[in-house]
Amino acid sequence: MATKRNGTLYIGATSNLVQRVYQHKEHIMKKGFTAPYGCNMLVYYEFHDSMFNAISREKQIKGGSRKKKLQVIESMNPQWLDLYDQT
């Protein structure tokens, strides 16, 4: 999730991507990182066969530099489009 191109980034794992992005977009979760920063654009996602693998990948991405995070996003979404409608 991002605020805009090269803006604030949020990385997380979920078992229901569509529902979770909807919650971010509608600010349903009042406490948390995305609401105060306005992270409501889905700019990158991956599907994994287990939650364990998803969380491992989440930690790997979070542990990387900002430059690496931007490269991961732009490898899938070079124009930083909101991918929510494509999920």
Q: Please give the chain's pLDDT, 87 residues, in tens.
A: 999 999 999 999 999 999 999 999 988 877 788 888 889 999 999 999 999 999 999 999 999 999 999 999 999 999 999 999 887
Residue located via tokens 């530099």: 65
Say which amino acid occupies 83.
L
The residues with which 36 forms a beta bridge, in sequence order, are none
pLDDT of residue 29: 79
CA atoms within 13 A on the CB side of 72: 19
Residue 45, SS3?
Answer: coil
pLDDT of residue 69: 98
pLDDT of residue 22: 94
Entry pTM: 0.90
Phi, psi of 60 (to 5 degrees): -65, -45
